[in-house]
Amino acid sequence: MARPIEYRWRAAVTDAEMVALVQAHGGRAVAGWWDQVRPHSLGWVTARLHDGTLVGFVNVAWDGGDHAFLLDTKVRSDCQRRGIATTIVSRAALHAKAAGCEWLHVDFDEHLASFYFDACGFRSTPAGLIHLPSIASPRGRDGGS
């Protein structure tokens, strides 16, 4: 029998928990990241086991108006394929809507397209992207440093 998951909006999450989740998700964790990001978020959804273990997370950033941005969707690798990611994304969308946002944006690697398009209901739109470390510096053309 699957263990029940508790989902919460803007529930307390420590930086140490985020580091552990990123590592359990297979990513490279950076201590201090969550403490830096949290103040700029509209909110986030957490998924926890009955013992309080953080097993899923998604962050919702925003522009202060109509646009919200889904970031950092993560589920521990040993808890994947149970609908946790779909649920946290769905709840994030509902909370962004309740906050008055009209649009929820998401960027993702190509292998995640079926998750976001099929399971979560996003649709493809034209968009642009610049990999900022790849661009040359302006060398003072704008009068700045």
Q: Which residues contact 33 (CB under 8 A, 6 or more apart)?
A: 15, 18, 19
Residue 16: φ, ψ to 5°: -60, -40
Burial per residue of 18-39, b for 16 or more beta-carbon CB atoms within 10 angstroms, e otherwise? bbebbebbeeebeeeebeebee
Is residue 86 packed enough to be buried (19+ CB in 10 Å), middle (13-18) or exposed (0-12)?
middle
Residue 142 covered by a domain: no
32-65 pLDDT, tens digit per residue, is 999 999 998 999 999 999 999 999 999 999 999 9
Comparing CA positions, the residue from 108, 132, 137, 128 lying closest to residue 120 is: 108
63-85 pLDDT, tens digit per residue, is 999 999 999 999 999 999 999 99
What pLDDT is stored for residue 26 in this prediction?
79
| Residues 91 and 73: beta-carbon distance below 8 Å | no
Does residue 113 or residue 128 have the better pLDDT? 113
Residue 143 covered by a domain: no
Residue 104 covered by a domain: yes
Domain range enclosing 82: 6-134
Residue 140 covered by a domain: no
Report the CATH number that the domain containing residue 130 is assigned in CATH.
3.40.630.30
Number of domains in the chain: 1
Question: Cα–Cα distance between 29 and 141 in angstroms, integer?
Answer: 36
What pLDDT is stored for residue 2 in this prediction?
62
Question: Which of these ranges, 1-5, 23-27, 92-96, 109-113, has the smallest mean pLDDT?
Answer: 1-5
Residue 1 covered by a domain: no
Q: Which residues contact 125 (CB under 8 A, 6 or more apart)?
A: none
Residue 141 predicted with pLDDT over 60: no
What pLDDT is stored for residue 93 in this prediction?
97
2-29 pLDDT, tens digit per residue, is 668 999 999 999 999 999 999 887 788 8
What pLDDT is stored for residue 138 in this prediction?
76
∠ CA 124-126-131, rounded to 5°: 110
